[in-house]
Structure 1
Amino acid sequence: MTVAAPAPAAAAPRELDGLLRRACAAATGIPSGELPDAPTRRSANTPGEYTSALPLRLAGPTGRDARDLAADVAARLRHCPQVVDARVDGPGFVTVALRPAARAALAPAVAGDPGGHLLGLPPRHRRSGRADLPPGWALSSLERAPDPAGARAWARADARRRLALAVGTATAADVAAALAEPTETGWRDVPQDASVGETARLLALTGTAGARVAFCRSAADQVRPGETTGPDLPALPTPEHPGAWARATHANPAFAVRYAHAHARTACERWAAALGRTRAPAHRTLTEAETAALTDPAAERLLGALFDAPAALQAATRRNQPHILVRYLEGLAAAYHDWWESHDVLSGRAADTHGPRAETTAARLDACAAVAGVLHAGLALVGVSAPTRL
């Protein structure tokens, strides 16, 4: 018989920021809503540890020593049920370690609302039901561009426009609601008439999705002659030199990310159904078996990549650089493939509907659904379709 672990809030960026802000508010007397922004960052080396510079930023306004203030905040955090420990680091940072159950709860939380997670929306600002996409969401017809350089400029403008809408105060909720409704999408995305024009001939080789990823993958708007963004990945592919962008292999980042989405969607929908398995409700108390399944080393790396999604989007929009989001999606896809290869995700028999084995599978299906949702949302923000079947 399995024992349910405590049900703390999921270790999502917004929830962690709220936890730290409440502790800082209690330590300083400053209302939480008046505190400066200081995003919480996860440790790259120690799973389950997260660091905030908020006490350091508050030292000046409060006239307190930064380390003393951080120690006060850490002491308050230790009383939170989801916290294992909290300590002072450096000149006034506070580092908090969360219980495994809180870290594991990120997977079902993201699976339940991947678009809202990526956009960093608080639950009260998220909308259910069908949403009308805001003006400016429509994509340019790249095949009509006069040449690949023109298509590249259009693709980057499309991505920047969508990123701005995704974080806009008046439009973010509608975008998140729309991103929560993935539609059946196939792999073929070449123009109907690929014989007219240089750009159309390029898209016939790379597909529109491959071209958009290629065009958005580099930081610079102006491409240097021969510039690449990786092995055999020209920053400006042409019909004569499309490079790996024309290949359906993992050497092509566009293919790798779209394949990861299709794989994760197929796993949590079709393969699981064939074994008689379904996802458990997103808002539930995780059992010990579920928590263990989501906190082994490979799963921790995958959850870490999911945790980083809002920060990647915020950085991409703040710097007006779509390549930041593109590179993030590539990293998430790689973490997903590493995790899948290290586990028998859909383990057991169809008859195993209860007990630790079924619970382990349910937790891993949450991870698949979370990855599929974030990849779908992220690809949509840069104008790329996400195939739903392998």
Structure 2
Amino acid sequence: MTPAELSRTVLGAVRRAVEEGALRGPVPERVKVERSRPGGSGDYATSIALRLAAPAGRQARDVAEVLKARITDSPGIARVEITGPGFLNFTLGDDSAGALVRAVCEQGTRYGYGDGLAGTRVRFAPADELRARVITDTAVRLLVAQGADAAVEPGGEERITAVPAHGDGPGHEKHDGPYNDGPDDDAPFARVGRDAALWALLRPAAHDRPLPGEGLLVQNEDNPLFRVRYAHARSRALLRNAADLGFAAGTTTTGLTTAFPQGTAAHDAPATPLLTALGDHPAVIESAARLRAPDRVARHLEATADAFLGFQHTVLPMGDEKPSATHRSRLALAEAAGTVLAGGLALLGISAPEHL
């Protein structure tokens, strides 16, 4: 079960409880689930019971008990616990890693797209400044990816402003036309290239200065854009190397639970950070869309790339070792990581080359 599926499962439990009369009050549009924090338990947690307590006129722990009864035994959930004043904590089933990888493989670069903002209409006013236009265009893509009706139109109600940069680097010029329509407007893109310029404009929060574009051309680990694109290229190289060795990715339940058994050292490192990053990807995209904050996607891509680069060395057989179900499963996870990186970069308008 992916975090997005878990969120829908909890929301369904809330809806059933209200329909059955076990709870009263409005049904929320969405339920936020997140990684369990210190002091919690399980894999994920939600504070939805605390949110529903006042409208229901009941204690949060009572609300949590009502929801727990309707969530326990759901496919993909091994255990539901209540902690603190009413937090619901979820331990996923042994095949949670397999389900996550299969979801990425099935959805491809659209993994993380959803309908959390379906029915929402957003119209942005055209921006005058280059960076504001880039952020606006990206925000539109993020909103559409979450089911919203979003566009840039004259007379739009929303406007994104960006702090002008000072000194060298893309974003400090003031322009009159679309960012890819004129020689003056193209200046930062011509200087460092489109991909580096977009990253320089989008990676910092809108109220922060753009990054120096020239530093994003250096191909080393200090360059976050290079790490993200290199991680994608490495994932594709692993697929080619595996094909040369005569095996392909596999997402069978047995293989994945062997590769990433719950509660073992093999699960704790180095696969866990990567599984966590992939599982969090849909929530990051939805949050970035709601807040009109593409920088959240960029930061998450960095974390995903770093987690993958710490995992990649476990994928292929070593020495005389023969390819096994474990290797096929790890290769599937590597493929999923590359897919998520490519999809995230596409939302930012940045290419994801297979060779670097």
TM-score by length of 1: 0.69
Match for 1:364 among 305, 330, 351? 330
Asked whether the equivalents of residues 81 and 89 of structure 2 are also in contact (C-alpha less than 8 Å), the reply is yes
Instruction: Provide the secondary structure at the position in 2 that maps to 1:113.
Output: helix
* From 38, 51, 65, the counterpart of 2:31: 38
SS of match in other structure, 1:51: strand
Pairing 1:290-309 to 2, within 5 Å after superposition: 290-292=259-261, 295-309=267-281
Q: Which residue of the partner structure matches residue 234 of structure 2?
A: 263
Identity of aligned residues (%): 33
Gaps of 5+ in 1: 1-9, 126-148, 172-195, 224-234
Structure 2 match to 1:211: 197
Structure 1 match to 2:253? 285
Change (3 A) 1:362 1:221: same
Distance 2:89 2:283 in 1: 18
Q: Report the Cα offset of residue 201 of structure 1.
A: 6.3
Distance 1:60 1:44 in 2: 24
| Backbone CA RMSD of aligned residues | 3.3
User: Equivalents in 2 of 1:371, 1:206: separation in Å?
Assistant: 27
Once the two structures are superposed, what CA deviation does each residue of 1:304-345 show, in whole Å capped at 9, x if it has no partner? 11111111111211111111111111111111111224x2x1
Change (3 A) 1:222 1:19: closer
Residue 346 (structure 1) aligned with residue 299 (structure 2)? no
Instruction: Give CA deviations for 1:249-294 in whole Å, capped at 9, x if unaligned.
Output: 12111111111111112212x11111111122x5x43344244397
Alignment partner of 2:10 out of 1, 20, 24? 20
Distance apart, 1:202 and its partner CA: 4.7
How far apart are the structure 2 equivalents of 1:110 and 1:313? 14
Q: How does 1:67-86 map to 2 (within 5 A)?
A: 67-80=61-74, 82-86=76-80
Read off the aligned partner of 1:165 and give its amino acid letter.
Answer: V
Inter-CA distance 82–322: structure 2 relative to 1 (3 Å threshold): closer
Contact 1:302–1:336, Cα closer than 8 Å, also in 2: yes
Spell out the pairing of 1:1-390 with structure 2 (5 A cutoff).
Answer: 10=1, 12-28=2-18, 29=20, 35-36=27-28, 37-43=30-36, 49-80=43-74, 82-120=76-114, 151-169=130-148, 202-203=188-189, 206-221=192-207, 223=209, 235-237=210-212, 242=214, 244-268=215-239, 270-280=240-250, 284-287=252-255, 288-292=257-261, 295-341=267-313, 343=314, 345-347=315-317, 352=322, 358-390=324-356
Shift of 1:26: 4.9
**Alpha-carbon separation, structure 1, partners of 2:246 and 2:347:** 34
| Runs (5+) with no aligned partner, structure 2 | 119-127, 151-181
CA shift in 2, pair 1:292/1:205, >3 Å: farther
Q: State the distance in 1 between where 2:187 and 2:320 align.
A: 48
State the distance in 2 between where 1:121 and 1:359 align: 35
Pick closer, same or farther for the CA change 1:256–1:151 going to 2, 3 Å: farther
Amino acid in structure 1 at the alignment position of 2:135: R
Quote the offset at 1:388 in angstroms: 1.1
Instruction: Quote the Cα distance in structure 2 between the aligned partners of 1:207 and 1:339.
Output: 30
